[in-house]
Chains A and B, each alone.
Chain A
């Protein structure tokens, strides 16, 4: 790939470099991937975006020109920059609009159900409220001791609502594993099922009938007895895209527009957070989520979290606010150190 000294380099607007303590990342929000870059390349892009290459070379001591050449080739090859030799074309490339908004008042919800007994009507009432609030993503987490018949009724109640559900459920040894595949097939709103505490074998997925469902119905030996398994931060959960990036810039990437009901019927920001806003059988969910107090944690973005604020992953990483020593500390379940760039 060729370039000329009188070319101007233009950073592609939906690829955004983010600086970390020891290295930076270009977030490719369009192709939904990313590349690590050294911090001096970050500085170079910030300083010389929409400037003439001749100037970049002029400002750089000649013994570093070969590094510069490498950088430019890398940016061109990844199509992170485009070149133009016409200065009047520069105005055609505006920055990305960084606004984030969604029509839903609540975008996602977690409902935990364990051995505590509430009326099915209390739960269906919550589902209807969530639907009115525009919620489209629901997680049902059933813990040991849950009432299976009620679970089936609740899954059925979703048929008339505008939301998809992820289900987490303990394995019942009296059922063949195929039972859970049939659940997936039977309830149209189930997006995925994770069956935990399963220690058998999964040979049945080899059969023609079941194979297509293996990606939606997962089995794991992990034992999940309550909400405390949540909040793990790992590259497997990173997501690079415009909604995630723009939401993280302003809001908490886990709690913003989320509501949860813990297994004891408490309305909370998340099942693992301690503050309760009332029980489902005597509080109005809609009122709760419109209250200032409930929304306070929504604006706790990564720039306010110590250590995370200098981490290059901060706008692709889900921020857990439940498992933290102090309100604005880095999540305990993240083992990444942005100073050394190592996962411990």
Chain B
């Protein structure tokens, strides 16, 4: 059985599962929103999850596709105990995902889904990729010096993307250019912030990595002032062109080293091709939206991913008979 761990409204998960359904392959999806329990965890024997009434013995799982979310053992408890329950939940999550990691074929895993942006940049540089000069400071003097040296500087969050919903408005962390005035307006000491030299870009590249291959897309945004710093600020009238792209082999090889060091067998990498035609590595997002690469480039990643899960399921699965694995049309 293929186990899919995701979140409720994830469109890509839905599309991959449509393929699993078409091929008639046994699969089960657990969403981060589902409340689960452990029916039993008999060390070195068997683990049986209870997912809203469905019994899932992990011995029957051959492949895990970890897309996002985690196992949610939430139980209503008195407020003071929530911290303890959270900690206990973490122990269980770590054990269960470790169990799956060692015993099953996993396409990504919760264990490796949270990467540290700063560490990843260092890894990338070690692998021979160019990175933008990156500086973290919470000191006004240092920030002004950095700005003086690098001239054009941007700031972005170090953690993962967030949304703050206020009545009627949504705030999102965009990458923004920083000016002298901005910094002069700060107190002498402020919360440590990431500053990066702004890179003049010819185009931006999003490379989805999976099964040892890269499926890349270039986003041509230069002609369009509004999106020059962060293409997520869509220009709704005329969306930036996104086209299929082929990274040079040596860039792919270096990226592969980074993914491997992070224990990731799938994920998205963001790069920039600067105006001097150098590839500059920006970041890796382990649970990146591959639908946004798959559709404009017609890569059919949803189908490829489903086939990958099925093929690996076949290698490990002893409970399936041939009839369950009708491939092709």
Contacts and interface: CB of A to CB of B under 8 A. Distances in A.
A19 to B, nearest CB: 21
Most buried by A among B19, B242, B243: B243
Contact of B243 (A14, A89, A101): A14
B276 to A, nearest CB: 11
Nearest to B239: A31
Contact of B297 (A86, A97, A105): A97
Interface in A136-154: none
Contacts of B300: 97, 99, 101
B247 to A, nearest CB: 7
Given A31-B238, A89-B277, A134-B18, A97 B248 contact: no
A22 interface: no
Contacts of B248: 91-92
Interface in B204-243: 218, 220, 223, 238-239, 241-243
B8 interface: no
Interface residues of B, number: 28
A30 B239 contact: yes
A89 B306 CA distance: 32
Residue from A79, A89, A99 having most chain B Cβ neighbours under 10 A: A79
B83 to A, nearest CB: 40
Contact of A14 (B238, B296, B306): B296
B103 interface: no
A30 B241 contact: yes
B277 A86 contact: yes
B245 interface: yes
Interface residues of A, number: 25
B222 to A, nearest CB: 10
B295 interface: yes
A103 B241 contact: no
B244 interface: yes
Interface string B53-97: 000000000000000000000000000000000000000000000
Contacts of A92: 218, 245-248
Nearest to B14: A162
B303 interface: yes
B19 A13 contact: no
B316 interface: no
A103 B295 CA distance: 15
A30 B242 CA distance: 8
Nearest to A242: B298
Nearest to A1: B223
A82 interface: yes
Secondary structure type dominating chain B contacts: mixed
Interface in A54-112: 79, 82, 86, 89, 91-99, 101, 103-105
B243 A13 contact: yes
Contacts of B297: 13-14, 96-97
Given A14-B297, A79-B223, A99-B298, A94 B18 contact: no
B243 A97 contact: no
Contact of B303 (A13, A30, A103): A103
A103 B244 contact: no
B241 to A, nearest CB: 5
A267 to B, nearest CB: 20
A246 interface: yes
A13 B244 contact: yes
B246 A94 contact: yes
A97 B298 contact: yes
A15 B253 CA distance: 30
Contacts of A30: 239, 241-243, 296
A334 interface: no
A12 interface: yes
- Counting from the closest, the 9 A-B pairs by CB-CB distance are A103-B18, A103-B22, A103-B19, A97-B298, A94-B246, A13-B243, A242-B298, A92-B246, A13-B244
Interface of B: 15, 18-19, 21-22, 218, 220, 223, 238-239, 241-248, 277, 295-300, 302-303, 306
13 contacts: A12-B241, A14-B243, A79-B220, A86-B277, A93-B244, A94-B244, A95-B244, A97-B300, A103-B22, A103-B306, A104-B18, A134-B18, A242-B298
Interface of A: 12-14, 30-31, 79, 82, 86, 89, 91-99, 101, 103-105, 134, 242, 246
Given A96-B244, A103-B15, 7 more contacts: A13-B297, A14-B296, A30-B239, A86-B277, A91-B248, A92-B218, A93-B246
